[in-house]
Structure 1
Amino acid sequence: MYKILAKLNKALLPSFTKQRLDLSKAKKWQLAIIAWRFYVTKKALRN
């Protein structure tokens, strides 16, 4: 399930590392997306 979510995240959500986003200047919604992508990626790699 998490592997499918990880693929959807990659396709649908923006990649802030490609945009060179500074985490100290990120908005709350951007931090929420980063946290969500991290959580799903961590779960997908664990299985």
Structure 2
Amino acid sequence: MVHHESSPYNMPELNWYHGYPLVWCLMLASSIGLLAYYRRKGWLGKGGDDG
């Protein structure tokens, strides 16, 4: 059996006390922010200046 050393850069949030929920909140906030931006630009759904 080969043992591979894991890098601390893979998922460092797992070593933080509130790291996992923080990462989920950041991903959710960035998704909502991008959806709002796209909607304002008129690239997604209804919205934007023209209509």
TM-score class, shorter: 0.3 to 0.5
Q: TM-score, normalised by structure 1?
A: 0.44
Structure with more contact order per residue of length (Cα contacts < 8 Å, sep ≥ 6):
1
Q: TM-score, normalised by structure 2?
A: 0.42
Larger radius of gyration: 2
